Structure 1
C-alpha cells in the first residue's frame, strides 16, 4: 500500500531503478470495507467499549498478524499500560505469546488491575478503531499498513518495531515526519508508561498531534478526485484493462 505523499523520494528511485509501472494507490483502502481484508475474526465488542471513553483518551495497542513475543514482554506492556493511567485497547492475537493459549501469561493479580482501565481482545477492526473519536494514540509494531492507516486517521504513534521494514517505518514516524515516539526496543514498563504520558500530555504531545493533523490532511487530499492516490488507482485500472 505505497503512498505517494509519504514515499515520494523512494518511489522516484524505484521507478528509475526498475523501469516498471508502480501504482501508489495508498491509502485508497479507506474506500473499501475493513472486513474485506481482515485476516482474523474481529471482536466488535471493542467499539461499544470505545463509545464509553472520553475523546482522544485511549491508547490502542496492536502488533499485527506476524509478530510474536514472550510472556514477560507482554506482562511489561500490560504493566506500562496500566500504570500510565490512560484507558487502553490491547489486541493479543492468539499465537502472539509463545507457548501460551492466549493471555494466560499475564499474572492473575495484574489482570484484575488491567480490567479496571483496559479491554483486551483477540483481534480488532483496526480501521474502525483508528477512526474512533476515543482513540488518542497507537502503540504499534509499525508494519507499513498499520503505519499508513494511523496517518490516514491522524493518530499519533508509539513505535515498537520488531522485524524487517518496521525499523525503517518507525524512523520515518519518529524522526522524519515526527508524528510519534520511538521505544527503541525497550519493552519495559516504565519506558512504556513514560512515552504514553508524553504523548497524551505536555508540549511534546501537543506538537506531535499538530504535525499529525497536518500530515493527515495532506494524505487525505491524495485520495480525493485528482489527488495522487486517486490518479494512481485510475491508472492501475486502465493498465489492467489494457491487457
Structure 2
C-alpha cells in the first residue's frame, strides 16, 4: 500500500512494528527511540550521516546500512533483527536511551534547567541594558 502521508509516530507505536528503515533524520530517530523500535539506518544527506554516527557508535540502537539501499541488504538486516539476538540487544539499548530522554525532558531535567538558565540570562541582559 502506498500512502501520500501518514503519522509516523502512530505507525511506530503499533506493537507489530519490529524495525524502521529510515534516512536517519533526527525526528525519525527520536520517534523510534520513544516507541522502542530498532532502526535500519540509511542516511542520504547532510546531518543524517552525523546522526547515524551517534546512534551507531554511541547509543548502539541501529542496524547500520550501506548506501545505496538495496533489497538484499534490507532482507539480511530484517533477518538479523527478527531471528537473532540482535533485536533484543537493540531494544534493550533503546530502552536505556529512552530513559535518558525521559530524564532530559522531566521537569527537573537538564533540558528544562538549561532553558530556564538561558531565559534568566537573556532577561538579565535585557534588563541591564535598559537601566
CA distance in 1, matches of 2:5, 2:112: 30
1:153 pairs with one of 25, 35, 38: 35
Offset at residue 181 of structure 1 (A): 0.7
User: Is there any run of 5+ residues in structure 2 with no aligned partner, and where?
Assistant: 127-131
2:116 pairs with one of 209, 229, 234: 234
Offset at residue 201 of structure 1 (A): 2.6
Offset at residue 150 of structure 1 (A): 2.0
CA displacement, residues 94-150 of structure 1 (integer Å, 9 cap, x when unaligned) = xxxxxxxxxxxxxxxxxxxxxxxxx43212212333333333221110012222222
Match in the other structure for 2:61: 179
Offset at residue 226 of structure 1 (A): 0.8
Offset at residue 237 of structure 1 (A): 4.8
Give the number of aligned pairs: 125
Match in the other structure for 1:199: 81
The TM-score, its normalising length taken from structure 2, stands at 0.80
CA distance in 1, matches of 2:118, 2:3: 37
CA distance in 1, matches of 2:31, 2:114: 18
Decide whether the 8 Å contact of 1:157 with 1:173 is kept in 2.
Answer: no
CA distance in 2, matches of 1:146, 1:231: 25
Offset at residue 193 of structure 1 (A): 0.9
CA distance in 2, matches of 1:131, 1:232: 30
CA displacement, residues 175-211 of structure 1 (integer Å, 9 cap, x when unaligned) = 2211111111042111111111212331112111111
Decide whether the 8 Å contact of 1:152 with 1:216 is kept in 2.
Answer: yes
Match in the other structure for 2:105: 223
Q: What secondary structure sits across from 1:181 in the alignment?
A: strand
- Answer 1 or 2: which has greater helix percent: 2
Match in the other structure for 1:115: none
Match in the other structure for 2:10: 128
Q: What secondary structure sits across from 2:19 in the alignment?
A: strand
Q: What secondary structure sits across from 1:196 in the alignment?
A: helix
Larger RCO (alpha carbons 8 Å, 6+ apart) = 1
Pair 1:230–1:136, CA change in 2 (3 A): farther
User: Is there any run of 5+ residues in structure 1 with no aligned partner, and where?
Assistant: 1-118
Offset at residue 166 of structure 1 (A): 0.8
CA distance in 1, matches of 2:45, 2:90: 25
CA distance in 1, matches of 2:120, 2:13: 31
Pair 1:200–1:228, CA change in 2 (3 A): farther
